[in-house]
Structure 1
Amino acid sequence: MNTCVEAAIAAPEEVQPAWGAVFAMTLGVFGLITAEFLPASLLTPMAATLGVTEGMAGQTVTATAVVALVTSLVIAVVTRNIDRRWVLLAFSVLLVGSNLLVAFAPNLTVVLSGRVLLGIAIGGFWTMSAATAMRLVPEAMVPRALSIIFSGVSVATVAAAPLGSYFGHLIGWRNVFLIATAIGVFAFIWQLFTLPRMAPTGSARMGTLVEVMKRPAMRMGMIAVVLVFTGHFAFFTYLRPFLEVVTGVSVNGLSGMLLGFGVANFIGTSLAGFVLERNLRMILLLMPLAMGGMALALVVLGRAPVADAILVALWGMAFGGVPVAWTTWITRTVPDEAESGGGLIVAAIQLAITLGAAVGGAVFDATGAKGVFIGCGMVLLVAAATIGTKLHPVSPAYDARNFIGEADEA
């Protein structure tokens, strides 16, 4: 019998909830996502100081995303023999080091080096978030813990860009990164005192990714994830031109709608944990179904600012539960290899971000913003159909024990 898998099944029911550690991880993810988004609001002054074009400075975002993608696929293997507590603390150290490098960088090369460190931390953290939540709280509370952790993403999404721009104007972009450094230091200290020891329980190797991918539920889940996130990021990437050209809102109206999206997204993320504890499969199905319907409704309504603002906010609320739901799905579908499964989901999301922006751009050039929204609406409806007909989540115990049986037979 595979003892690592047995531990994966038993541990969630035996562990006492470590909410202090959950909130420490939430602060850590807030620091990571804030650092990831800061260049978007500080691009012009950064480029001017470093003596490069804004396009070149924009590669700081690209470097982070590419490294995060690669890291998500290999981090479980590279750290398979290391206590998870120390791995998570290392991500906070990388966050601090990244921000310090950027804050004191004399040139773009040093900035890119710092952003590479950040990419490792982001990719590694997301890969291990599901498996870590399973170790910190009982099985029934995992969705709630994940919703708390992901709320750090929502807050950072709403606050990082406007606050970065505001403080960058007042105190300079380098000092903004020093503030982000202080957040990382605080997160490290909090995690140091709250994260318990978490001995590695998996048997991760490069072949494990392939083995996990071979499981039918995982294959269909990956397809559904790519469809859902591609539809969302095509929508979000071209939301501003749609609201400006089709809806016809002013700059102030646009800012208000985007703020409404962010606030609603935070609310959706916060509520997701409680809802997911009751019916995971229903949420996986309803979210893309609702988002697809809203995308098509926006096209039909056209110039209707109030209705569009409501639909955009509802979209934000609906999407707030999506990352939490899919991370929870990983804990129930591949509990014996949650880190490898988490890495595959992170890679699928990164691929979806690329597809959403690239394909959405081609459609936008050919048909305009309405064409993009029609396309992403159809993609999301296909995702909902795929989830409803092909994806059948099972209980953690059933799935893991079936896997044990297969391993023993082999």
Structure 2
Amino acid sequence: MNKLDELKHNLTEEKLQNEKPSNGTVSRGPSPNRGQSLRDVDAVGPDAEDKREWQKKRGIDRSKQVKLVKLCHMRYQHPDLNKITTFLRDFGMHVTKKGDGERWFRGYGPDQYVYYAKQGPKKYLGGAFEVESREDLEKALKIPGATVLSDGIEEMKDAPGGGYIVTIADPEGFPINFVHGQAEVKEERAKPAKLMLNDEVDKPRQKAFQRFDPGPAEVHKLGHFGLNVENFPAQMAWYTQNFNIVPSDILYVPLDKIDPETNQPVRKEVALFGHIDRGQDLVDHHTFFMTTLTPGVEKHVHHSSFEVHDFDTQALGHQWLVEKKYTPVWGVGRHILGSQIFDYWWDINGFMVEHYADGDLVNIDTPMGFGPAGHEGLAVWGPDVPTEFLE
């Protein structure tokens, strides 16, 4: 059931013909929809590759990589901190600290903050990854093809939890940040209750009624961010060689020529869903997303995505944002790659942000998959994909 036509249970004309009994009448209607939690190797399917073999073929030396631990926060610059604060609160974040021309916003998860906003003209300031050691910060300053934007290793004196940061630009100029030495969160943060759910057979929720309070979809953590780049092959090589980022899935378009070695159509790779390689540890299906530009569109950050508790939380948050008259992009729906339930919105300055719930977990043993690019494969259910999401 990993193929789109199987997921959507389209009943083809051929299938209808095969199901005709001898009298020529069709015996039944369309198959009902079905969902199941497939093993990773079965869901990925046969068009797959071992990640270590993929790295080996590309000459990737893992000992030289900057070792990422997790994605911890996003950094943006906004013209009006009060207005973006109102939006981010309605989006489900909490102000954890206000400074002179800067603010930090947290979720209820383990990170000191998940979003940093600086006063100034609209500008993308990059995602921030926690790294294993100070040596990794020093290594980041020496990456070939990068431009150092920070004054070496800078101390984050005013930031909640302190720590140190390095900021560089990738070969196309996108900023990327690395932090180390932040203090752990000590306070106990309230977490949403896990709902009991009844289905047609198992009914653990007995004499207990589902009740909800309206409000924003509270953010747990930052999950991933994505870039639309000019030179996709070069950018993918740069990120996967210099950091412990490995593909979970790569999307391609077939070219009008045949590879003489495989006798298969040549593929042009156009999109990467990458996760942080922590070996056997389970991590999010993708922490970093990258795709090639739509013709005529300038390179830009595509979106950043924040995890929420569950589907009800997400739906109530969607309703809250609608009532506040913010601008939706796409959702609510469910992705195929990563499986997340998604809901995309524009913030007040035109940056795209996402709520997601119920995402896949993978590790180094999960095969990396290959699939054809196309908007039809972006979701198994939900509204039609809007043009602005594809740009």
**TM-score calculated relative to the size of structure 2:** 0.26
* Larger relative contact order (Cα-Cα within 8 Å, sequence gap ≥ 6): 1
Of Structure 1 and Structure 2, the greater helix share is in 1
- Identify the structure with the greater strand proportion: 2
Q: TM-score, normalised by structure 1?
A: 0.25
Rg (Cα) greater in structure: 2
